[in-house]
Amino acid sequence: MNREEMQACPPSSIAVVGCGHVGLVTAAGMASLGHQVVGIDKNPDLVQQLSRGSVPFLERGLPELTSQMLAEGRLTFTTSYTDALREAKFVFLCVNTPPTATGAPDIRYVRMAAAALGEELATRGRQPIIINKSTSPIGTGERIDAILSTFITQDNGHSGIVANPEFLREGSAVYDFFHPDRIVIGADSEVNAQAVAQLYEGIDAPLVMTDLRSAEMIKYVSNAYLATRVSFVNEIARLCEALNLDVDPIVTGAGMDPRIGQHFFKPGIGYGGSCLPKDVAALCYTGDSAGISMRLLSSVQEINLGQRRHAVQCLRQALGTLEGRTIAVWGITFKGGSEDLRESPALDVIRLLQNEGARIQAYDPSQVTDGDLEDAVLLSEDAIDAVKGADALAVLTDWPEFTQVDFAEVLASMPGRYVYDGRNILKREHVEAVGGIYQGMGRPITHEGQFHASVSQP
């Protein structure tokens, strides 16, 4: 999609409530499509920072897009609902819905945003269409509608609620906004659904039009299925280790079936982040509330947590004991290309290692600081600095730069020889060629005479 196509859609006035990851991508993306957008956030420091074009989190292409839209005058930020809603014909809700201890999503921020909107819109005759982009439990659209109805009278009734779930990947969110697999719109009004669909004019993607609840459910089903694939391949990897098989040609061969594919079909220490863990937990909670036992998804959660314990077990077996050992850790965030520590498998592994008496020297290429970590974690300046004096190296996040490190220098800097690749991003031969002992997830330690299969490409 080129610049002319982006600006071909009829412009509209949009307010975006919440300027976090999803909200800022939505605001900047909609502005790039030609709309006039105001981002609302209650944090004045964040609003000032964004107004200068400074994006406080890692997201490829977002700082440039935000600065460009500010310069072109189609994007502004404010803490004032009054200012933001003055001309708004559409309002996107992009607020956080963190998990509760029970697994149920916490929708207090959605409720607060709906109440703030209702209070501001109560005296207006023309009401904007409210679009919920926050990942919310089934029935949230109806709850928002009920909250707004307590403020808005019949004479100036609001236009309605639309569910428009996001499918943005951290690190690739800008690309995903402009190149989505699908655009899902759920509404009880076809007029409202079509109006929201027109906002995306110029983006080439299949359009799924459905009711409110079904749109909310699509988001949860999508993430729960992806989590299931991850846990399935991880369980297969554990079985491969027990049978002394290399998982790589097995998943490659199985994934060549187009009904299976390769996406989310790579072993590791488990999924994490702000979406998959909480969305699986939310769907389990929804099932329990409806009297349906979600046994498969409960197993998905159990396998995912077990991957962390398995990584520690591999390190323990290789070193004999973890007490007093120094473990170098490459990667702290939940995945490469992000500074997000939420539900990070790497952090879980670090805590388990510390619990057994290990000393941790960690390096992560993101903006993670000492203040983000446990006191006992020594944050290193670079990958080589982290391995100095280490008894073993554990690669726990799939940052691409780790594949470029010279392992001759690594093994010259650490007295230990054992390298545990918890993300299967390293090449075994690179480690073993300089005298290292390599083990990955579903990739057993090499024994003399062992044959490693390969896959040839036509």
Per-residue model confidence as pLDDT tens digits over 212-258:
999 999 999 999 999 999 999 999 999 999 999 999 999 999 999 99
Q: Which of 19, 94, 240, 275 is catalytic?
A: 275
> Which phi and psi angles does 302 have, rounded to 5°?
-65, -45
- In this prediction, residue 374 carries a pLDDT of 66
Q: CB 401: neighbour CB atoms within 10 A?
A: 11
Cα–Cα distance for residue pair 182/169, rounded to 1 Å: 14
Q: Average pLDDT of the chain?
A: 91
Among 3.50.50.60, 3.40.50.720, 3.30.565.10, 3.40.50.9100, name the CATH number for the domain at 3-210: 3.40.50.720
- The pLDDT assigned to 153 comes to 67
Q: Does residue 94 have an active-site annotation?
A: no
Give the pTM: 0.90
Alpha-carbon distance of 398 to 364, in angstroms, equals: 10
pLDDT in tens, 4-50: 444 445 688 999 999 999 999 999 999 999 999 999 999 999 999 99
The CATH 3.40.50.720 portion of the chain extends over: 3-210, 222-440
pLDDT digits (tens, 9 = 90+) for 266-308: 999 999 998 999 999 999 999 999 999 999 999 999 999 999 9
User: DSSP alpha helices (H): ranges in 256-294?
Assistant: 276-289
CATH architecture of 222-440: 3-Layer(aba) Sandwich (3.40)
| 331-375 pLDDT, tens digit each | 999 999 998 999 999 999 999 999 999 999 999 999 777 777 766
Strands 13-17 and 36-40: parallel
